[in-house]
Amino acid sequence: MEGVIGAGEQRMKGVVNRKHFKVTSLASLAVAAMGLGVVAGTAGMAGMAAPAAAATKAAPVEVKMVTVPKYGKILVTAAGLALYYDTANKPGKWACTGGCLTAWPPLVLAKGETKVTAGPGVTGLGTVKSPSGTQVTWDGKALYTFIRDSKGTVTGQGYQKVWYVAQPSAQASTTDISSSSSSGSSWG
């Protein structure tokens, strides 16, 4: 497949390799179908786990608050993944599209769900219609997770100077990850 890289995809260079290629043989197609990491638009993502496929009956989306030594109180999913917002998003204009959404999966409600559940102390949650579905917002900012995070880690803080962890207890930190430790921050 050959295509044009959108603005949201362009700023994700380094996280998702955007090399587009043509499938020239059935063997190449078979390798891609086997899920060996050679899928159009995601080649070069070795070491990054793809988001799990949605279950038939998805659990309601819940946003919780945890305290992290480096960042203070932050918002996380029910599974413990840190939540981020993209400062490049503008009203009615989504900056993260295409391959960017592979690296930064949006927090969306299951089809038919209309509200997000707020854990203790969490305020300011809402939803907005986005290209990905009904996306959860915090203080009007659409929320995302980061593919390189696992439960208890914050590794996307300050990425490309547009991605920041949702911090309800203080003005969001704008510390760039390049000035912090390479492992980010973690909690148990």
Higher-pLDDT residue of 7 and 92 is: 92
80 falls within a domain: yes
Q: Exposed, middle or buried, 51 (CB in 10 Å: 0-12/13-18/19+)?
A: exposed
> What integer pLDDT is reported at residue 91 of this predicted model?
82
Share of the chain above pLDDT 70, in %: 59
Distance separating alpha carbons of residues 63 and 135, to the nearest angstrom: 12
Tokens found for residue 164: 């920041």
Q: Report the domain count for the chain.
A: 1
Is it the case that residue 95 has pLDDT exceeding 90? yes
The mean pLDDT value for 103-126 works out to 95
> What integer pLDDT is reported at residue 175 of this predicted model?
43
The mean pLDDT value for 25-40 works out to 33
136-179 tens-digit pLDDT: 999 999 999 999 999 999 999 999 999 999 998 754 444 443 33
Share of the chain above pLDDT 90, in %: 53
> Phi/psi of residue 31, each to 5°?
-60, -45
51 falls within a domain: no
Tokens found for residue 140: 């009007």
Is it the case that residue 126 has pLDDT exceeding 80? yes
Pure H helices in 43-157: 100-103
42 falls within a domain: no
44 falls within a domain: no
Higher-pLDDT residue of 167 and 39 is: 167
44-66 tens-digit pLDDT: 334 444 444 443 456 789 999 99
24 falls within a domain: no
Is it the case that residue 96 has pLDDT exceeding 70? yes
16 falls within a domain: no
Distance separating alpha carbons of residues 89 and 58, to the nearest angstrom: 27
> What integer pLDDT is reported at residue 55 of this predicted model?
39
The mean pLDDT value for 3-28 works out to 38
> What integer pLDDT is reported at residue 166 of this predicted model?
97
Q: Which residues contact 68 (CB under 8 A, 6 or more apart)?
A: 74, 154, 185, 186, 187
31 falls within a domain: no
Q: Tell me the residue range of the domain where 182 lies.
A: 62-186
155 falls within a domain: yes
> What integer pLDDT is reported at residue 125 of this predicted model?
96
Higher-pLDDT residue of 157 and 42 is: 157
